[in-house]
Amino acid sequence: MRPTARLLLGLALVGALTACGGSDDDAPVNDDGGGDADLAALGNDEVPDCPFTAEQVSDLVGTPLREDGSCYFIDGVAIVQATMSSQLAGATTYDYSRGQADERFDRVADLDRGDMGYLGVGDVEGEAVLIQGSGSYTINVSSLGGGADGLEAALTALLDAIPS
């Protein structure tokens, strides 16, 4: 499933739980009726632009790639895709995405930058999520070679290229 589809699925699940009255009994109650204000406090709602060009991605991952869509880079086999969303959207779906990463990848580690984030890798695919004040970034890579270590190095280089 493409990252955009996963994000939309996550947002749909959050919306469905809210519409069905799903709640967390331990969640704080907001008596002022300002639920939207509470969500807005999570961060901005600006969606950043793609932080990469095809040339930059090719240099960072060591494989010549061409752009084949909005922030989607391929060479026929290898894929690098970045999906951007607002800080608010990223924070809203983070726990779900992190839980899915724990199930999908052999290694998952928290990032030590931004508000929250993780990097997960397996043998042929990997994912990094970075949520910070300027927005949220989900980067998916596959078939770059080098196994989990190569994918981790590629994702780390891509994350380092995203401005703080």
Instruction: Identify the bridge partners of residue 49 per DSSP, sorted by sequence position.
Output: none
User: For residue 45, what pLDDT band results from cuts at 50, 70 and 90?
Assistant: confident
Percent of the chain whose pLDDT exceeds 70: 74
Q: Where are the beta strands (DSSP E) in 2-152?
A: 66-67, 72-74, 79-85, 107-110, 116-121, 125-132, 135-142
User: What pLDDT, on the 0 to 100 scale, is given for residue 112?
Assistant: 95
pLDDT at 164 over 70: yes
The average confidence (pLDDT) of the chain is 83
Q: What is the pLDDT of residues 119-162, one digit of tens each?
A: 999 999 999 999 999 999 999 999 999 999 999 999 999 999 99
Q: Where are the alpha helices (DSSP H) in 33-142?
A: 35-40, 54-61, 87-104
**CB proximity list for 130: less than 8 A, separation 6 or greater:** 111, 113, 114, 117, 136, 137, 139, 159, 162
pTM of the complete model beyond 0.85 = no
Cα 72 from chain centroid (whole Å): 14
Centre a 10 Å sphere on the Cβ of residue 77 and count the other Cβ atoms it contains. Answer: 10
* Residue 60, amino acid: L
Q: Tell me the angle at which helices 54-61 and 147-160 cross, rounded to the nearest 10 degrees.
A: 140
Q: Tokens standing for 90?
A: 């990223």
Model confidence pLDDT, tens digit, residues 82-92: 999 999 999 99
